[in-house]
Amino acid sequence: MSTTEEPQPGPGARTRHRLRRHNRALAELAATKAELVSALLHELRTPLTAALGMLEMLPERTGDPLLDEALPLIARNLRRIERTTAEIATISGIESGTIPLARTEFDLPALLTEVAGAACHAVPPDGPVLGDRDRLRQVFDRLLSAVRALDSGAEATAERVEDHWRVSYPLPDEQASDRLFTSAGTGGNAMALMLARAVIGRHGGSVGVHSAGGTAYLRVVLPAA
């Protein structure tokens, strides 16, 4: 009696199976990350709300010089944590898609000029992009403030290359790293880069550090409309 062997899956079928397995793993990882962020924010907000409430019940002057000096410092740092948790929630929502982004056409060089308070050097001088103007304005405002804090006086330049825009901010050489905003001494600027990557990523673009002609640049790439 002859036996018939089961046909073995070909290379294409094995590749598709492997990709499906990887995609499931990525989806599970994204869900786990969202759950972790949600739990972390809850654990931060509960004691933070209680601490801020207790501070508000205290008089402006307690009569204790040491306490009167310490309380404003405590309040400032608690408010900073409050702002940070709010930003983390926003970034997480943008990354996961639970916070929707608008889709309108607007002029990118005009937006950059509005943010900087001075004319942006752009080639060509005008050009549309499609996206959430308010969120992108927030991103460019935060990035410009972060770059200026590094004592880099140069402003952003914008250039359209084929089907996308490149917005570049010159950086000091010693800061030319993709971990620019997480190095010591840059304060809360890490949040600026996280927000930028979340918003720009949802627009199909990218954020990173590049080098050209001996100068390092923080560069934002956005699809043109």
User: Is there a single domain that holds both residue 118 and residue 204?
Assistant: yes
Are both 113 and 209 inside the same structural domain? Answer: yes
Report the candidate in 175, 148, 169 with the shortest Cα–Cα distance to residue 157.
Answer: 169
Q: Are both 148 and 219 inside the same structural domain?
A: yes
Residues 117 and 85 reside in one and the same domain: no
Does residue 124 sit in the same domain as residue 218? yes
C-alpha pair distances (Å), 48 with each of 42, 70, 86, 173:
10, 17, 12, 39
The DSSP 8-state label assigned to residue 178 in this structure reads T
Q: Determine, yes or no, domain membership for 1.
A: no
Distance, in Å, from the CA atom of 179 to the CA atom of 110, rounded to the nearest integer, reads 29
Angle at the Cα of 94 from the Cα atoms of 91 and 98, rounded to 5 degrees: 125
Domain range for residue 41?
11-96
Beta bridge partners of 80: none
On whether the CB atoms of residues 103 and 132 are closer than 8 A, the answer is yes
User: pLDDT band at 144, cuts 50/70/90?
Assistant: confident
Instruction: For residue range 179-201, list pLDDT tens digits in order.
Output: 465 544 445 567 888 889 899 99
Q: What global pTM score does this model have?
A: 0.70
What local confidence, expressed as pLDDT, does residue 184 receive? 47
Q: Which two tokens stand for residue 13?
A: 């079928």
Q: Which CATH number goes with the domain that contains 169?
A: 3.30.565.10
Residue indicated by tokens 């991103």: 139
**pLDDT at residue 63 tops 70:** yes
The packing angle between helices 189-202 and 65-96, to 10°, is: 20
Average pLDDT, rounded, for the chain: 81
Tokens read off for 130: 């499609």
Tell me the two tokens of residue 71. 């309380």
What is the pLDDT, as a whole number, of residue 20? 77
Q: Are 117 and 179 members of one domain?
A: yes
pLDDT, tens digit, 9 for 90 and up, residues 166-180: 999 887 765 455 446
* Paired strand residues for 122: 158
Q: Is the pLDDT of residue 164 over 80?
A: yes
Answer with the residue of higher pLDDT: 131 or 34.
Answer: 131
pLDDT value of position 4:
56
Condensed to tens digits (0 to 9), the pLDDT of residues 65-93 reads 888 888 889 999 998 889 888 888 888 88
- The whole-number average pLDDT for the span 209-218 is 79
The reply to whether 85 and 111 lie within a common domain is no
Between 102 and 61, residue with greater pLDDT = 102
At which of 76, 96, 116 does a domain end? 96
Q: Can the peptide bond before residue 124 be classed as cis, meaning omega within 30 degrees of 0?
A: yes
Q: What pLDDT does 42 receive?
A: 81
Going by pLDDT thresholds of 50, 70 and 90, the confidence category of residue 10 is low
Q: Are residues 122 and 207 in the same domain?
A: yes
Question: Does the pLDDT at position 165 exceed 90?
Answer: yes
User: In 164-176, which positions are buried (b, 16+ CB within 10 angstroms) versus exposed (e)?
Assistant: ebbbbbbbeeebe
- Does residue 189 contact residue 163 with C-beta atoms inside 8 Å? no
